[in-house]
């Protein structure tokens, strides 16, 4: 089992806090050509690899998640208060942290990128469950809802509102071909067991 950080957008962090986000989808770095595809095979655990049209393995298929991985979530944040001690970032240690997900519309300055969040400030942890490989346009309405997507506010509901929301979020991401929506990229889709507490608290619980 690997323990490592994972960055969330403010919308994702809010959805996880509300227990609406119970899955993650990430475009894969290696994308098959037209003559190749992802295949699942049985080992000690279920793994994935890229094979050509003759069934020959052309890439071992390294996924960003494995079942059992523990992800501690980083989000946009800032320090609040001061203890009087110097911190890793050359500032004073905070008495507590504020999270942008809790402050929608807050235009104040001082928000820090998720990548700067220390492990001690993380307030959400997820244990990875089953992981599959799927093309983003094959995501189902139920899966899109588990990804924390919200129904778009429209005069008329689309037939699949959560998929519509997923597509809107994907288009807004700074992704280029072959990982943009129109390229229909292959992605890793992971189910999550979400814990609304710091990763070290989870480790004490699950051992």
13: pLDDT strictly greater than 70 = yes
Q: Where are the domains of the chain?
A: 3-28+63-206
Over the stretch 136-168, which tens digit does the pLDDT of each residue have? 999 999 999 999 998 776 666 678 889 989 998
CA distances (Å), 119 to each of 4, 122, 136, 149, in order?
Answer: 9, 5, 30, 26
Strands 70-74 and 77-80: unpaired
The CATH class of the 3-28+63-206 domain is alpha beta
Range picked from 38-52, 87-101, 127-141, 146-160 for highest mean pLDDT: 127-141
* CB of 27 closer than 8 Å to CB of 136: yes
Q: How many CB atoms lie within 10 A of CB 202?
A: 20
pLDDT of residue 92: 41
pLDDT of residue 173: 77
22: pLDDT strictly greater than 60 = yes
Burial class (CB in 10 A: 0-12, 13-18, 19+), 24: buried
- Tell me if residue 149 falls in helix, strand or coil: coil
pLDDT averaged over every residue in the chain: 85
Q: Tokens representing 173? A: 């991401």
pTM to 2 decimals?
Answer: 0.83
With CA atoms as reference, report the closest residue to 40 among 188, 175, 139, 146: 188
Q: Tokens representing 163? A: 């998929």
Tokens 């990229």 label which residue? Answer: 185
């Amino acid at each position: 089992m690997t323990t490592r950080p994972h960055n969330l957008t403010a919308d994702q962090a809010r959805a996880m806090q509300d227990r609406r986000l119970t899955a993650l989808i990430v475009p894969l770095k290696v994308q098959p050509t037209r003559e190749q595809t992802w295949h699942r095979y049985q080992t000690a655990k279920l793994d994935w690899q890229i094979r050509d049209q003759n069934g020959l393995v052309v890439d071992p298929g390294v996924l960003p998640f494995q079942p059992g991985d523990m992800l501690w979530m980083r989000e946009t944040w800032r320090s609040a208060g001061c203890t009087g001690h110097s911190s890793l970032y050359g500032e004073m240690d905070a008495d507590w942290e504020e999270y942008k997900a809790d402050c929608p519309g807050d235009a104040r300055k001082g928000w820090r990128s998720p990548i700067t969040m220390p492990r001690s400030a993380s307030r959400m942890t997820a244990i990875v469950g089953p992981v599959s490989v799927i093309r983003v346009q094959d995501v189902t309405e139920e899966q899109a809802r588990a990804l924390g997507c919200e129904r778009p506010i429209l005069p008329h509901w689309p037939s699949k509102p959560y998929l519509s929301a997923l597509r809107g979020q994907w288009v807004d991401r700074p992704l280029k071909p072959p990982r943009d929506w129109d390229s229909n990229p292959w992605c890793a889709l992971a189910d999550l067991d979400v814990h609304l507490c710091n990763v070290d608290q989870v480790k004490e619980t699950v051992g």
